[in-house]
């Protein structure tokens, strides 16, 4: 079986010293030494001012919205994993969907201003597949209307543009360290912020709102990352350069073999951007021998676990489709892309032979069948 994503697991013996240290310390959670070490290491590696670790990316999104005291309506994209909008609902916020850009598949800044109402307080864009949003335009719109910006950067670990981390944009950026991500801690997440005051509030909110042992100042949550997860993150960080290099090789192999295939479109590479090659989505269009769903079924039958990511749109789930902004007529590009997209396998443990098998099946689906 060839999975579309798969966690990179370093040799077990490399993790043994970390476990022994945890057992020796008897400090398994609540901001232990590995937790602090990982925060410091990630701050340096990512080139960001401050980072707060959390138990997963969804809790990080929930906490980010609480940190900025967001209320009312939040403009966001329907083309994302459902956790993006779920975090809004859990904070009693109203998602307002706008369409995506046909090249980047990120929220289209040209559509944002028309969606702003007196109830709008924030914008929640997503760096989809790690491709940077147009943060300059989004920032200008937010400044003009007094809105906060929280980036869902679940796919964007280590992505840089013009030499700097894209996690520095907006008021906050939220990362996911889920097992299938470029960098993972089994389960985990983080919030990147620009100042010590914000980090202090985040750290309090993820620990039930405690300011000190006897004082609770906010209705916080239990969002702390354990020492085992933090230790695994420190180990993963030692291997991240090799993992990114292998991802780049696979991405290049796909582009060279599939870039000229009629009816199949690869997403363009962004200028002045250091990618993390987190996913390899292709769009199946008119002119390809099979429909997207036929190719999906054919590859799955060969034990190649491709994924229609993102399909359906968030706006098409029953919990959201009653919203006026969820109408397909409001989201023509996102609707079309969701019916064309297919993510091919991409992770560091893929062999060249496995990548070539995927390529052969995609290039000659009828012959292979």
Using a 10 angstrom Cβ sphere, with 0-12 exposed, 13-18 middle and 19 or more buried, the burial of residue 37 is middle
CA distance 150 to 134: 13
CATH architecture of the region 241-368: Alpha-Beta Complex (3.90)
Report cis status (omega within 30 of 0) of the bond before 312.
yes
Place of tokens 């489709």: 321
Which residues in 62-119 belong to E strands, given as ranges?
73-76, 94-97
CA distance 191 to 204: 13
CA distance 151 to 162: 18
Q: What pLDDT shows up at residue 368?
A: 44
Other Cβ atoms less than 10 A from the Cβ of 149: the count is 22
Q: Is the dihedral of CA 266, 132, 124, 106 positive or negative?
A: negative
Do the beta carbons of residue 87 and residue 58 sit within 8 Å? yes
What does DSSP say about strands 50-54 and 73-76: parallel, antiparallel, or unpaired?
A: unpaired
Q: What pLDDT shows up at residue 365?
A: 86
pTM for the structure as a whole: 0.97
User: Which residue in 280, 306, 281 sits closest to 365, CA to CA?
Assistant: 306
Q: How far is CA 101 from CA 75, 105, 111, 132, 138, in A?
A: 15, 5, 9, 12, 13
Average pLDDT for consecutive 10-residue bins of the chain (369 residues)? 90 96 96 98 98 98 98 98 98 98 98 98 98 98 98 98 97 97 97 98 97 94 98 98 98 97 96 97 97 97 96 98 98 98 97 97 75
Residue 314 CB partners (closer than 8 Å, separation 6+)? 78, 79, 80, 82, 84, 85, 95, 97, 320
What does DSSP say about strands 304-305 and 2-3: parallel, antiparallel, or unpaired?
A: parallel
Instruction: Select the CATH number that applies to the domain covering 2-98+105-235 from these four: 3.50.50.60, 3.40.50.970, 3.30.70.270, 3.40.640.10.
Output: 3.40.640.10
Q: What pLDDT shows up at residue 369?
A: 43
DSSP secondary structure, 237-280, as one string: HHHHHHHHHHHHHHHHHHHHHHTT-TTEEEPPPPTTEE-----E
| Coil vs helix vs strand at 23 | helix
Do the beta carbons of residue 97 and residue 207 sit within 8 Å? no
Where helices occur in the chain by DSSP H, the ranges are: 12-25, 33-46, 57-67, 83-90, 135-145, 196-205, 227-258, 292-301, 332-338, 352-363, 365-368
Domain extent listing, the chain? 2-98+105-235, 241-368
Q: What pLDDT shows up at residue 367?
A: 52
Residue 231 CB partners (closer than 8 Å, separation 6+)? 15, 18, 19, 21, 22, 34, 38
């Amino acid at each position: 079986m060839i999975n579309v994503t798969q966690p990179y697991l370093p040799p077990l013996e490399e993790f043994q010293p970390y476990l022994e240290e945890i057992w020796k310390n008897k400090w398994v959670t609540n901001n232990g030494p590995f937790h602090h070490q990982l925060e410091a290491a990630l701050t340096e590696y990512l080139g960001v001012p401050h980072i707060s670790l959390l138990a997963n990316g969804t809790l990080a999104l929930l906490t980010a919205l609480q940190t900025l005291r967001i209320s009312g309506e939040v403009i966001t994209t329907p083309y994302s994993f459902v956790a993006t909008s779920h975090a809004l609902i859990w904070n009693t916020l109203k998602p307002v969907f706008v369409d995506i850009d046909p090249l980047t598949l990120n929220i289209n800044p040209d559509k944002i201003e028309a969606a702003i109402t007196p109830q709008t307080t924030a914008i929640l864009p997503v760096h989809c597949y790690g491709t940077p949003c147009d943060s300059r335009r989004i920032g200008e719109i937010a400044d003009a209307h007094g809105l906060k910006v929280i980036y869902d950067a679940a796919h964007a670990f280590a992505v840089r543009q013009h030499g700097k981390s894209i996690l520095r944009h907006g008021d906050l950026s939220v990362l996911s360290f889920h097992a299938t991500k470029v960098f993972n801690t089994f389960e985990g997440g983080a919030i990147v912020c620009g100042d010590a005051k914000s980090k202090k509030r985040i750290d309090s909110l993820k620990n039930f709102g405690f300011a000190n042992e006897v004082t609770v100042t906010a209705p916080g949550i239990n969002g702390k990352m354990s020492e085992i997860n933090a230790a695994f993150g420190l180990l993963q960080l030692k291997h991240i350069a090799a993992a990114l290099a292998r991802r780049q090789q696979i991405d290049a192999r796909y582009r060279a073999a599939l870039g000229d295939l009629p009816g199949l479109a690869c997403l363009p590479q962004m200028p002045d951007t250091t990618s993390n090659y987190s996913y390899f989505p292709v769009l199946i269009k008119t002119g390809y021998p099979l429909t997207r769903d036929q190719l999906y079924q054919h590859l799955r039958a060969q034990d190649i676990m491709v994924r229609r990511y993102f399909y359906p749109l968030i706006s098409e789930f029953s919990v959201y489709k009653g919203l006026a902004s969820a109408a397909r007529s409001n989201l023509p590009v996102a609707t079309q892309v969701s019916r064309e997209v297919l993510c091919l396998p991409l992770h560091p443990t893929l062999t060249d032979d496995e990548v070539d098998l995927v390529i052969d099946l995609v290039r000659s689906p009828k012959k292979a069948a």
